[in-house]
Amino acid sequence: MRIRTDMAQDEMKELRGMFQDGAGFGDPEARRNAEQRLQVLLAKGQHRSANRLNWLTFFLVIVGLLNVAVLALQVWKG
């Protein structure tokens, strides 16, 4: 997974460099293809970030429920 991410980041840097230079596009079709590849890579990155946030939220909910359970136990026992 890490290798794939590194490759995607390298490709993203390469595409961004092409857009910053303004060169590297011989025809409008090449530019359109590069824009689409960049958009796909950005969308995949956003998807990965959203998945990480979802897992973090799930983990925090579990911790919160455990916290409530411990608090209820403390109140009940004493």
> Which backbone phi and psi does 22 adopt, to 5 degrees?
85, -5
In this prediction, residue 67 has a pLDDT band, given cuts at 50, 70 and 90, of very high
pLDDT tens digits, residue range 3-40?
566 777 788 788 777 777 666 667 788 888 888 988 99
Q: How far is CA 19 from CA 12, 33, 58, in A?
A: 11, 12, 39
pLDDT of the residue at 19: 74
> Which backbone phi and psi does 39 adopt, to 5 degrees?
-65, -40
How many Å apart are CA 60 and CA 53, to the nearest integer?
A: 10
Say yes or no to pLDDT of 55 above 90: yes
How many Å apart are CA 74 and CA 68, to the nearest integer?
A: 10
